[in-house]
Amino acid sequence: MGDTAEAITLSVVTTEPVSRQERKQRTRQALLDAALDLVAERGFSGLSLREVAKQAGIVPTAFYRHFASMDELGVALVEESMRTLRTMIRSARTKPAAYNDMIKTSVRILREHVRAHEDHFHFLTRERYGGTGPVRQAIAFELKLFVSELAVDLARFDNLREWSTEDLHLLADLIVTTMLTTVLELLEAPSRDDEIGRTAERRLRLIFLGVPNWRSVP
């Protein structure tokens, strides 16, 4: 297996007339998609400019019309993936959920979004620590922002109204870490979604059990 389906990314040919910049952006997206495809099996650092170009259906040198280096493409991939993550959190935010039901709802939304965008989540969780240089930094940066956003969200809950920013951040961090662990489990076990989801609920439940008794100490 390996050299059967190539350049499939662009092969959904649209015969309509398109402007030049539109076509360019389409190729750019093909490059991103190609990289996302390949990254799943071999890690971002283990993939070459040439094969990404080939998979996208262009010649290696044309790659440079879109990115100065693979690292630059990687950062673009981080941004794209983080957009997916934010979409998810927005989805969770708009659902008006009771306090206890909230955990169940959140985990369900997580499961749905992970399944709908496996490659994005795969990329993020895999390269979060494994990646090198710019990609890893970009993820760290974005994830830090993300935790801060979640902390603000948490502040709205009755039980947490009086918590300090620092404590909220701690809680948000713990939640995000737990969520990302769950994401990894979901991606690794193809079919045990239910069980993993229940474990995730229990983990979060344990964390939130401590909340009423929390007393911030210097």
As measured in angstroms, the least distance from the Cβ of 52 to DNA is: 8
Cα dihedral 151, 153, 157, 161 in deg (nearest 10): 50
For DNA, the binding residue among 6, 29, 43, 49 (CB under 7 A) is: 49
As measured in angstroms, the least distance from the Cβ of 98 to DNA is: 51
- Is residue 177 within the footprint of DNA (CB under 7 A)? no
Q: Select the binding partner of residue 202 from its own copies, DNA, none (C-beta < 5 to 8 A, by kind).
A: its own copies
Closest to DNA by CB, 17 or 96: 17
Q: Select the binding partner of residue 165 from DNA, its own copies, none (C-beta < 5 to 8 A, by kind).
A: none
As measured in angstroms, the least distance from the Cβ of 173 to its own copies is: 8
- Is residue 70 within the footprint of DNA (CB under 7 A)? yes
Q: Select the binding partner of residue 137 from DNA, its own copies, none (C-beta < 5 to 8 A, by kind).
A: none
Q: Select the binding partner of residue 48 from its own copies, DNA, none (C-beta < 5 to 8 A, by kind).
A: DNA
Q: What does each C-alpha distance from 94 to 23, 54, 101, 142, 214 come to in angstroms? A: 36, 41, 14, 22, 27
- Under 8 Å between Cβ of 53 and 35: no
**What is the DSSP-derived secondary structure letter of residue 158?**
G
In the complex, the residues that contact its own copies under the rule CB under 8 A are: 41-43, 45-46, 125-132, 140, 170-171, 173-174, 177-178, 181, 184, 188, 199, 202-203, 205-211, 213-214, 217
Residues in contact with DNA by the rule CB under 7 A: 17, 19-21, 23-24, 27, 48-51, 58-66, 69-70
